[in-house]
A and B are shown apart, each in its own frame.
Chain A
Amino acid sequence: MNEYSLAISSRYENLAQVTQFARAIALDFGLNDREADDVELAVDEAVTNVIEHAYRGNPSGIIHITCALRKNEFVVEIRDDGKPFDPGKYRSPRTSGPISERAIGGLGLFFMRKLMDKVEFRHGRTHGNLTVMVKKVKA
């Protein structure tokens, strides 16, 4: 069995549970401690995005998380049934320059891309989003 799933309601209070679930499976599938930390944070940012942008803070939405080992890749899929959103349209925040020019938002997506090897977003026309994040498992 190379796949584990979890469903949570769209509450920030569930973040710790879902991120630690992903972290534990990442370790189980052969990622090291540091890489599992990366997965934990990337999942946190992705699920936070779903709660904030797809469900707009509505706590009754459902978020499905699947962690799978496919060939030599650890794959996390996060599925929701909320409002379609396209994080790809947000520009990366500045990570250099003076404090006055630093944006308050946009960091979550930046972390996801930095911590994982691949991040993809798909969304339906009227509802639902799928976030797919991949981290390579080194031999």
Chain B
Amino acid sequence: MITEMLPNKICVITPAGRLDAVGARPLGDELQNQINQGNARLILDLSGTRYISSNGLRIMLRARKDAEGRGGSLKLCGLSSRLLEIFEMAGFDRIFEIYPTREKASKSFE
């Protein structure tokens, strides 16, 4: 997992590996950690993620609600077609802003 801070105080987190019950935990901790530090403008770059379960989706939903509570948001980019399919199945494509690249996701905060 990589956490980067862009110059406009947007935090980009790129998880690695499977976002199942095991992999979602450290990602959830890192998202909460950033939100608690006041970094509520978040981008999750999923370009390295090939697998997600409901556990992964759940922590994203929670983080998104928390980020919005702090005046920010959680936006997504880099989803594979399979990931997008899972998001659509759960109806998450309609509640998350999903961008093809992190540049576009970052611009949307301006």
Contact = CB atoms under 8 A, between A and B. Distances in A.
A44 B64 contact: no
B9 interface: no
Contact of B89 (A48, A102, A108, A114): A114
Interface residues of A, number: 26
Contact of B22 (A15, A94, A105, A110): A15
Contacts, number: 62
B54 interface: yes
Given A13-B22, A94-B91, A99 B57 contact: no
A44 B58 CA distance: 15
B62 A104 contact: yes
Contacts of A114: 89
B57 to A, nearest CB: 6
Task: State the majority secondary structure of interface residues on B.
Answer: helix
A108 B53 contact: yes
B54 A111 contact: yes
A60 interface: no
Interface in A55-111: 94-96, 98-100, 102, 104-105, 107-108, 110-111
How many chain B residues sit at the interface, stated as a range, is 20 to 34
Given A96-B94, A102-B61, A102-B95, A41 B86 contact: yes
Contacts of A19: 20
A45 interface: yes
A16 B61 contact: no
Nearest to A19: B20
Contacts of A13: 22
Interface of B: 18, 20-22, 51, 53-55, 57-58, 61-62, 64-65, 68, 82, 86, 89-91, 94-95
30 contacts: A15-B20, A15-B21, A15-B22, A16-B20, A37-B82, A40-B51, A41-B51, A41-B86, A44-B20, A44-B21, A45-B54, A51-B21, A94-B91, A95-B90, A95-B91, A96-B94, A98-B95, A99-B61, A99-B64, A99-B95, A104-B58, A104-B61, A104-B62, A105-B58, A107-B58, A108-B53, A108-B54, A108-B55, A111-B89, A111-B90
